[in-house]
């Protein structure tokens, strides 16, 4: 029998190239070096023909990176804006799925990946849902879950494989997405975090918070009925370095144990 193994996970909205971009990237990199997560989900990532923001951020740290494009970046020509997944283990397969717009014009997508972890296949999804209408968020969440379930079913036969759903959901835990995700996923911070867990907070001068003190909108979700168990979770990237914060969002980190 394979021994239990520890799995660490981070989700962080990178806030694309918003100023001070270079200084923020240094703060982001320092945080990742300190946390050393096995799996990372990034949102608001930029890529062009020659560079990938997530790859540059993680350069030399031993990660494989997959980028999921969503839309052309509106601030500069030649750039694409999207999500990314990074893994210390090989990325065996990926799929990027565009999500319904609900009659609107703003596009969103979910990036799906199969990771070749030491204990076997582990599946991860990363997304960034619509930030205004709750009905569109719910529509996108249901579509993302269906796409993720289909992807796992195509890639894995038999027992329920371990899987994670990461991202910026733009919704608090008690809002419209809770009944969508709760039947199939555990919320890592709700299980093993402490305090309100605000990730969009008045503590962060980059965040434009309409309802102080803020809200928890960034998540690490762990599939129910899988070999993954949540040990601990916390909000990270909260402390500035020389007055510079990593992003307008705080990140979420979780420590899991996998018992094959």
Under the banding of pLDDT at 50, 70 and 90, the label for residue 50 is: confident
Contact yes or no for 39/8 (Cβ under 8 A): yes
- What pLDDT score does 74 carry? 62
Residue 14 has pLDDT above 60, yes or no: yes
* CB-count burial class (<10 Å; 0-12, 13-18, 19+) for 116: middle
Chain centroid to CA 15: 13
Q: Give the domain CATH number at 103.
A: 3.60.10.10
Q: Among residues 203, 213, 185, which one has the least CA distance to residue 250?
A: 203
Number of domains the chain contains: 1
Domain membership of residue 132 as a residue range? 5-258
pLDDT digit string (tens) for 122-166?
999 999 999 989 999 999 999 999 999 999 999 998 778 999 999
pLDDT digit string (tens) for 54-70?
999 999 999 999 999 98
- What pLDDT score does 1 carry? 54
pLDDT digit string (tens) for 73-126?
766 667 888 999 999 999 999 999 999 999 888 899 999 999 999 999 999 999
- What pLDDT score does 161 carry? 93
Q: Among residues 47, 83, 85, 56, which one has the least CA distance to residue 68?
A: 83
Under the banding of pLDDT at 50, 70 and 90, the label for residue 51 is: confident
- What pLDDT score does 63 carry? 99
């Amino acid at each position: 029998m394979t021994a239990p193994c520890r799995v660490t996970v981070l989700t962080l909205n990178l806030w694309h190239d918003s100023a001070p971009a270079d200084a923020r990237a240094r703060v982001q990199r320092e945080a990742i070096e300190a946390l050393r997560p096995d799996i990372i989900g990034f949102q608001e990532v930029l890529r062009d023909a020659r560079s990938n923001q997530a790859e540059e951020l993680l350069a030399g740290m031993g990660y494989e990176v997959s980028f999921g494009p969503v839309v052309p970046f509106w601030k500069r020509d030649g750039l694409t804006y999207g999500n990314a997944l990074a893994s210390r283990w090989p990325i065996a397969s990926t799929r990027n799925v565009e999500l319904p717009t609900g009659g609107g014009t703003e596009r969103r997508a979910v990036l799906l990946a199969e990771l070749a972890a030491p204990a076997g296949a582990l599946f991860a999804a990363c997304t960034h849902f619509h930030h205004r209408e709750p009905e569109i968020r719910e529509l996108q969440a249901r579509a993302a879950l269906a796409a993720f379930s289909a992807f796992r079913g195509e890639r894995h036969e038999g027992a329920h494989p371990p899987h994670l759903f990461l991202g910026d959901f733009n919704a608090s835990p008690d809002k419209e997405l809770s009944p969508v995700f709760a039947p199939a996923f555990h919320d890592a911070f709700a299980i093993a975090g402490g305090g309100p867990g605000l990730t969009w907070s008045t503590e962060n001068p980059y965040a434009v918070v309409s309802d102080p003190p803020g809200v928890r909108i960034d998540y690490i979700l762990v599939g129910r009925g899988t070999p993954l168990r949540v040990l601990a979770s916390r909000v990270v990237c909260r402390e500035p370095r020389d007055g510079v914060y990593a992003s307008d969002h705080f990140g979420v980190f979780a420590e899991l144990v996998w018992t094959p």
